[in-house]
Amino acid sequence: MNVRTLAATRCGATEFRWGERTYVMGVVNLSPDSFSGDGLGGDIEASVAQARRMVDEGADIIDVGGESTRPGTEPMSPGDYDEELHLVIPVIERLAAELSVPVSIDTYKSGVARRAVAAGASIINDIWGLKRDPALAEVAAAAGTPLILMANQRDAPPRAGIVAGVLSDLEAGIATAEGAGVAPENIIVDPGIGFGKTLEQNLELVNRLAELKVLGKPILLGTSRKSLIGLVLDLPPDRRLEGNLAVTAIGIANGADIVRVHDVRPTALVCRMSDAIIRRGAVGD
């Protein structure tokens, strides 16, 4: 499927026209134990300042998360999310009022998503692809917000045939979302680089990303500062920029529509250059 045939996705006043260019999602981590060392904790002013800087540097979406996803971290209970709400809601309220771009809430809990949407979030980013809390789809459907579904293999051992496994996970999530009333054009998929996958599986997924187009959904790629880059280059998270820029360019060539990153300015430049080569002629086709 040619990605340019995908229907546009509306997010408040913003329209994402898939295939015309690559969109950049800037990461604002509020968890103090973020794997990449960028967690801002409860510092609202620092979070707002970072988000504003990212928009100035070219971010099209700001993704706000309050729970660390580093491997081995004990997850917060789905029914006990006061700490997560305490971190994310004040920041989302400020960003929704002050930014010109949509704000996304990075959560897999329907209770957090519901409060975040009420606070101004207009995208829901679920790292569990509705496997942990299917009711999150009902929140997205009721609010009419786009929903990002990730293929997360942390609940199962790495398997052979990782592309088939990711497709199966995403197909199940899509069916659940659409069954709950989420509009087909509001569903975005993410292969879940680094979530329960081996290095070789992660590299294979980036290389074969175009195969996810069979799902007929826009593709988000999130590899920023992740271990696949560290393992290949033998570098800590804060020195993985060049590696991620390489992955970003390859991902765009293979069909990525959104890239989720910590380093917005250099990534936005790579996206513009990659789009000029890969998507030339897309506008007006």
**Segment 184-219, tens digit of pLDDT:** 999 999 999 999 999 999 999 999 999 999 999 999
Does residue 284 carry a pLDDT above 50? no
Per-residue confidence (pLDDT) for residue 42, from 0 to 100? 72
Per-residue confidence (pLDDT) for residue 76, from 0 to 100? 60
* Nearby residues of 44 by Cβ (< 8 Å), 6 or more positions away: 90, 91, 94
Query: What average pLDDT score do residues 116-137 get?
Result: 98
| Buried residues in 65-78 as b, exposed as e (16+ CB within 10 A) | bbbbbeeeeeebeb
CA 272, CA 269: separation in Å to the nearest integer?
A: 5
Q: Which domains can be identified in the chain, with CATH numbers?
A: 21-278 (3.20.20.20)
| pTM: predicted TM-score of the whole model, two decimal places | 0.92
Structure confidence at residue 156 as a pLDDT band (50, 70, 90): confident
Query: What average pLDDT score do residues 23-48 get?
Result: 77
Alpha carbon 59 to its chain's center: 13
Candidate from 11-25, 53-67, 153-167 with smallest mean pLDDT: 153-167
pLDDT in tens, 82-102: 889 999 999 999 999 999 999
Query: Mind telling me the catalytic residues?
Result: 226, 260
Average pLDDT, rounded, for the chain: 91
Structure confidence at residue 43 as a pLDDT band (50, 70, 90): confident
